[in-house]
């Protein structure tokens, strides 16, 4: 399963970067013009085995914004262009590079920023760091920002217990509609 999942991650990420390359170029140019450099940020997150890595995202906030969970960020820190990127989840597209590097998987528990200590402890107790974090996951299609830390951890644990290529496909297809409808997103 692990080898097949990794091979699928590599193939799908490479394909996604090719397919989305015109969009990535346009977003990069608009970002540079509207909010200046840097275009991308590397946010420190917990990865597999609890190791810290930098997740790539398009910058959506002012440079002086605090590093907190997306549900806790104040709207005044989000730029107008950044709000568009967040609402459409386009800010997440650079994470396909993280998948190619092996830091992430396409499907898995979302990586936590290191400031989210409460849920970090829950994840440690429940073995969530036994797998690579994902761009999307079971918790994201079952409530996203509307879930409590305990609910997210339970959903992440359920994902690990049921993990299979078929389950990953179900999650991928289940991701499309919430992203289009901007469902369960606080920011």
- Give residue 66's pLDDT: 76
Please give the sequence-ordered ranges of beta strands (E in DSSP) within the chain, or none if there are none.
40-46, 52-58, 105-107, 134-136
To the nearest 10 degrees (0 to 180), the angle between helices 165-181 and 2-19 is: 30
pLDDT beneath 50: ranges in the chain: 186-187
- Give residue 135's pLDDT: 96
DSSP secondary structure of 113-140: BTT-HHHHHHHHHHTGGGS--EEE-TTT
Write the CB contacts of 151 (distance below 8 Å, at least 6 apart in sequence). 139, 143
Q: pLDDT tens digit string along 60-105?
A: 998 888 776 666 667 788 999 999 999 888 999 999 999 999 999 9
Q: Exposed, middle or buried, 172 (CB in 10 Å: 0-12/13-18/19+)?
A: middle
- Give residue 187's pLDDT: 47
- Give residue 145's pLDDT: 72
């Amino acid at each position: 399963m692990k080898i097949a999942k990794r091979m699928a991650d590599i193939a799908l990420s490479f394909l996604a970067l090719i397919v989305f390359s015109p969009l990535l170029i346009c977003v990069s140019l608009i970002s540079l013009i509207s909010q200046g450099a840097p275009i991308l940020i590397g946010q420190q997150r917990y990865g597999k085995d609890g190791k810290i890595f930098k997740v790539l995202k398009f910058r959506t906030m002012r440079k002086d914004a605090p590093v907190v969970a997306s549900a806790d960020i104040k709207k005044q820190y989000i730029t107008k262009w950044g709000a568009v990127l967040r609402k459409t989840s386009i800010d997440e597209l650079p994470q396909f590079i993280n998948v190619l590097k092996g830091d992430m998987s396409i499907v898995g528990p979302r990586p936590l920023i290191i400031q989210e200590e409460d849920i970090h402890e829950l994840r440690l107790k429940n073995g969530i760091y036994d797998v690579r974090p994902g761009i999307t996951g079971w918790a994201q299609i079952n409530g996203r920002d509307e879930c409590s830390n305990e609910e997210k951890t339970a959903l992440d644990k359920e994902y690990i217990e049921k993990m299979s290529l078929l389950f990953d496909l179900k999650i991928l297809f289940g991701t499309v509609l919430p992203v289009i409808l901007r469902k369960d997103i606080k920011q």
